[in-house]
Amino acid sequence: MSKSDEFRILGRRPGNDESIRFEYKGVTFDQDSFHVVAGLNAVDTREYVERTFIALQQAGQRCARMGAYKPRTSPYSFQGYGRQCLPYVFELAGKHDIRVISMEVTHDEHLDEIRQALHATGDPTGVMLQIGTRNTQNFELLKTVGSQRDFPILLKRGFGITLHESLLAAEYVASGGNRDIVFCLRGMKTNFGDPHRNLVDFGHVPTVKRLTRMPVCVDPSHSVGVRDASPDGLPDIFHVAAQGVVAGANMVLTDMHPEPRRALVDAAQAITLEELPWFLEDMAIAREAYLVRREVAARHAAQ
């Protein structure tokens, strides 16, 4: 297979250079759009879910993250409330005008459970199916999400495989028929990233946008993993998120919790609801810087 054949659908090349673009529940995703997707790593209480949605609504946000199915490293760790929590998550999302919820799925049954719960609650919101880093090469799951058209897909980069292999995973999804895919960088597993949880790989934002037509997301929470701040007062999570956005990221997926210490999963990496307006302001500055950088690049190219 020649190199240009490998990314037959998603690859960017002459004659196939239009950004993947899709509108879902009134929200547009492409290589020019920009969205922050903050929320609970793992759904816990109804009260925390509602407080999270209220904070997002007050900040003018239309997207959220909500984990119901949690793939955990240990079998003894909390595995997520699964389908049990879906009705109140969807109902409360609709109540607070949240249109798109990024939710990880690990099994084809989860799609049916999500479909049923959305239907039962009157389709108050939408779901973007998140494929986690541990499932980037779960080819049967990739085929399952790729062969349905109801939901768009957020595909995480595999944390221990090459970028090329992760992009082929995206191509697996697309080859099933669904091209509504956002590709998400989330850091690579290696001790060389210490004291961060993973080695930040956001230098690949422009690389993915050049090699493929997919919008690119960054997940600063799983990359950094801790709430530590540098002497300038900015948490490392803010810094690396801004680095991704300044490089052209189209989405930022961020863990947020009303009381991070009480979060059932990844408590160390959630920002608070009070920090949300600050985080959004910081991201807007980074986004503006990216747009100006693009203008400068165009001016120099025209000379």
List residues binding Mn ion (CB under 5 A): 266
- Residue 144 touches which member of Mn ion, ligand PEP, none, C-beta under 5-8 Å by kind: none
Residue closer to Mn ion by CB (options 201, 266) is 266
Residue number of the CB atom closest to Mn ion: 266
AA identity, residue 223: S
**Exposure on the CB side of residue 131, measured as CA atoms within 13 A:** 30
Residue closer to Mn ion by CB (options 180, 266) is 266
- Residue 186 touches which member of Mn ion, ligand PEP, none, C-beta under 5-8 Å by kind: ligand PEP
Residue closer to Mn ion by CB (options 81, 290) is 81
Q: How far is the CB of 210 from ligand PEP (least distance, A)?
A: 23
DSSP-assigned states of every residue in 115-169: HHHHHHTTS-SEEEEEEPGGGTT-HHHHHHHHT--SS-EEEEPPTTS-HHHHHHH
Of positions 11, 39, 126, 132, contacts ligand PEP by CB under 6 A: 132
Residue closer to ligand PEP by CB (options 96, 186) is 186
Binding window for ligand PEP (CB under 6 A); candidates: 47-55, 127-135, 204-212, 235-243: 127-135
Residue closer to ligand PEP by CB (options 104, 275) is 104
**Exposure on the CB side of residue 104, measured as CA atoms within 13 A:** 24
Contact 217, 252 (CB under 8 A): yes
Say how many C-beta atoms besides its own lie within 10 A of residue 94's C-beta. Answer: 17
- Separation in Å, CA 246 to CA 7, 116, 255: 26, 39, 20
Of positions 39, 67, 126, 244, contacts ligand PEP by CB under 6 A: 67
- Residue 39 touches which member of ligand PEP, Mn ion, none, C-beta under 5-8 Å by kind: none
For the segment 179-218, give every residue that binds ligand PEP (CB under 6 A): 186
For the segment 157-176, give every residue that binds ligand PEP (CB under 6 A): none
3-state SS class at 80: coil
Buried b (16+ CB within 10 A) or exposed e, 157-191: bbbeeebeebbbbbbbbbbbebbbbbbbbbbbeee
Q: Using the rule CB under 6 A, is 287 a contact of ligand PEP? A: no
Q: Is the peptide bond before 206 cis (omega within 30 degrees of 0)?
A: no
Binding residues for ligand PEP, rule: CB under 6 A, are 41, 67, 104, 132-134, 156, 186, 219, 222
